[in-house]
Structure 1
């Protein structure tokens, strides 16, 4: 008995290593399993299991004239995500998520043997990196300090490029964190710079507009990005409110103290 499964998707990478096939796919894309039922007995049931606990996500039975998907016993996390072509046996997992990453095993219920194994890695869709002026850095009179950042990312690399040449990069694997990468350029620099966020199957690029972000005049405002600007304004407002509250309290305290002194003096004169 021979079972051949081919994964087809919008963007993928397939590598066979010692009987285990590795697939990389973007989150939200469909993954189609084209199952060849040639040589499969009609009373056999092919099962697709997921993860170390062998969760049953699909059971396929070949009947007289068509191939049927059996819902009984199938885990609910996949039940509404499966689409079967009853003529060809193609099984599609719709809207695959990062939580669907892991090992998938194809087994024959009659023989009780594993026919194949697949390792699927689902990558989250990448945000566009943000380039902003680095206000925390003391730029020289000739250089402009910048920072490129990406929020809540994992399994990615953040890089600065000058034209097609790599200048610097930083990577993160398992943890979902925020990345930032600094860069200093001259105010009059005419080169092309770009910040690239990428994983093994996709990338997002933000090009640097030096004229917009970098200014040579001493009274120019430092543009640090919307979020940081809002935080700074909020902190300034809080400091202002606190200052006014302290002044009001001080004035009231002094007024009350003066009244008490006057009352004490009046009592002593009586």
Structure 2
């Protein structure tokens, strides 16, 4: 996944060449929304006559020129409609800190020394849908994947990808006024289903099916750089199987990778969250997480025959309570308490990805 992500980034960057402005060094930063970015100068010593300045997008100044003699950095945080207000924090030797980043902070940051570009930082901000949550849709409905742009600008190139860098679905070149959809990729599963918004570049998928679940990657190259991943989950319209004696039977359901099944259990009992696999395949990797923060609680690597239980996470609430079936990958929680109430997600990564979600509700005795 990481290699695919980097290949996508490099492919997008190769479309955008600005000769003579990249400087001596290029660095790529990949951050999730809400994280802090440190733009370091790598300077161990500033000469008395060195003049240092930060700019954004190759032309917008974020700081005034400063040097060792003045020993003072002035920031211009009111540029670009003020989305840098209270975001720019000067650091040691001319470095810059940007806390709590958002998608509007994605782009190119450049360090100028004596008016010459020394380092170019490419900041990509990674998000998952709105408010960091997957986009959920029912089979047969439509879903719109938003670019978060109110209007595209001249010079913008917008690309939509599905899963990997080989599956380009749609492309917009604003300067050439060219809108292209590639709906024959992946055996034509998107044929006659893709629509591009000619103002914002957003992508709509109509009459969605289970084949369309997964990660959609948005790459915008222009006045700013934006990489955004939107995870789409598709819910089956089939009835949900019932709960059997504190464990879950999800025959035919787990392979939808999207449905969240509710499980009720009393304190002190055990609950088995079943993958519905009869046998794990040779290359399968199974991960179990808990909570909206997806804290990893168990892992099974069939290739290395290794089972790992992380029962000390979250203040040790799972200590001595987790059992992972080495044949099916199902997870059992014993002597359950109200602290274990919440969302559990099992992901099987192999020849195909399967994701099972369980909402466990624990009631008092």
Q: With structure 1 as the length reference, what TM-score do the two structures score?
A: 0.46
Higher helix proportion: 1
Structure index of larger Rg: 1
Q: With structure 2 as the length reference, what TM-score do the two structures score?
A: 0.36
